[in-house]
Structure 1
Amino acid sequence: MIVDNLKDLYLDELRDIYDAETQLVKALPKMAQAAASEKLQQAFDQHLQQTQEHVRRLEQIFDDLEANPKGETCEAMQGLIKEGDQIIKKDADADVKDAALIAAAQRVEHYEIAAYGTVCTYAESLSQPEALDLLKKTLEEEKATDAKLTDLAVSSINKKAQAS
């Protein structure tokens, strides 16, 4: 795709995020299944529901822009998911594996926080208030998920992994 202006770049970035989110919808159930901690399983399941909503929001933005959401492959998310898959396959203590799954999930969240922060800036610059509202809502949810994962790690998972 030719990117000649900020709107083109905005659409390109939105397509990248859309692909990232759709990849994550497929990966989160695997992470939940691999988690030993019931709380971590629940966190992954809850984030799956949020991620499905993030996809719907992005589709709404594309509908409003009369644009196709497909066309980009998010290679960064492919790499992050591949790292998560490697953790799932490792022969490790269950508590240590849970700590590693949180680390992998937080790398995903940090990527998404950066991506949504960028497109929020573009939406604002392009006077896209409806899209900006949807993107900001998703950004806040991504930040909240990251904080929840940190709390879960600090309050229990890392302590169990340390005791292993």
Structure 2
Amino acid sequence: MKTTEKDTKSKTATKSTGEKKTDTDKKSTAGKVKAKSSAADGLRELFLDSLKDIYWAEKALTKALPKMQKNATNENLIAAIEDHLDVTNTQVDRLEQVFKIIGEKAVAKKCDAMDGLIKEGASIMEETEIGAIRDAGIIAASQKIEHYEIATYGTLVAFAKTLGEDEAAELLSVTLAEEKEADVTLTEAAYNTINFDAAEEGEEE
């Protein structure tokens, strides 16, 4: 059978379309992360990665909290920060125990979220005059940090239980309870008084 010019053009068009489809398929898969073959392996890696993040975060807090305490004036706030610092040092040690329990080396991985929260707190202190207004700013920054920690430890406890790491889950639960208690302390023992004082300072200006 003689091939006509029309048939040749049709075949060429089909080939071209097929090539374009292949290119599109390649683009659609570009940048995608390859899934783990085992869901358990994937969850364990996520758990470990989150542990490394919060380990870095807690160690960074041991350096940031003394600066907040130095800039605070309200006695309740100063005491709350001091308590938080003592608890944070204990939590760092506890995280190292968790690493040991799950058979992993304690390694810190920079936590961008905590880094941002600490920088925000530093910025607030730089932009406010020492006194009730700055104290209120320190409280606000501290509570953001607490809420991040509560969310993180809550997730870590859930992951540990799912992975059957019951001993690790128990230790992480202790820290979670401490973070919740610290949040309540900041709210009840300092925040109401500081906000009241800050409001009075604003009226005087």
Same fold per superposition (TM over 0.5): yes
The number of aligned residues is: 162
1:96 matched residue in structure 2 = 133
Deviates further, 113-122 or 69-78: 69-78
* Residue identity opposite 2:132 in structure 1: D
Once the two structures are TM-superposed, the CA of residue 93 in structure 1 deviates from its matched residue by: 5.2
* Residue identity opposite 2:163 in structure 1: L
TM (normalized to structure 2)? Answer: 0.76
- 2:154 aligned with 1:117, yes or no? yes
* Residue identity opposite 2:134 in structure 1: K
Is the CA contact 1:3–1:9 (under 8 Å) kept in the aligned structure 2? no
- 2:122 aligned with 1:85, yes or no? yes
Once the two structures are TM-superposed, the CA of residue 132 in structure 1 deviates from its matched residue by: 0.8
TM (normalized to structure 1)? Answer: 0.94
2:178 matched residue in structure 1 = 141
Trace 1:40-55 onto structure 2 (pairs within 5 A). Answer: 40-55=77-92
Is the CA contact 1:113–1:142 (under 8 Å) kept in the aligned structure 2? yes
- Backbone CA RMSD of aligned residues: 1.4
Percent identity, aligned pairs only, is: 44
Distance in 2, Cα, partners of 1:71 & 1:91:
32
* Residue identity opposite 1:153 in structure 2: Y
Once the two structures are TM-superposed, the CA of residue 66 in structure 1 deviates from its matched residue by: 2.1
Once the two structures are TM-superposed, the CA of residue 95 in structure 1 deviates from its matched residue by: 0.2
Question: Per-residue displacement from partner, 1:37-73 (whole Å, max 9, x unpaired)?
Answer: 1211111010000000110110001111221221511
Distance in 1, Cα, partners of 2:171 & 2:54:
13
Larger Cα-atom Rg: 2
Once the two structures are TM-superposed, the CA of residue 89 in structure 1 deviates from its matched residue by: 1.4
2:76 to 39, 55, 67: 39
2:111 to 49, 61, 74: 74
Question: Per-residue displacement from partner, 1:107-160 (whole Å, max 9, x unpaired)?
Answer: 000000000011000001011111111111100110110111111212x11111
Judging changes above 3 Å, is the alpha-carbon distance between structure 1 residues 93 and 162 closer, same or farther for their aligned structure 2 residues?
A: farther
Moved beyond 4 Å, runs of 4+: none
Larger relative contact order (C-alpha < 8 A, sep ≥ 6)?
1
Distance in 1, Cα, partners of 2:142 & 2:61:
10
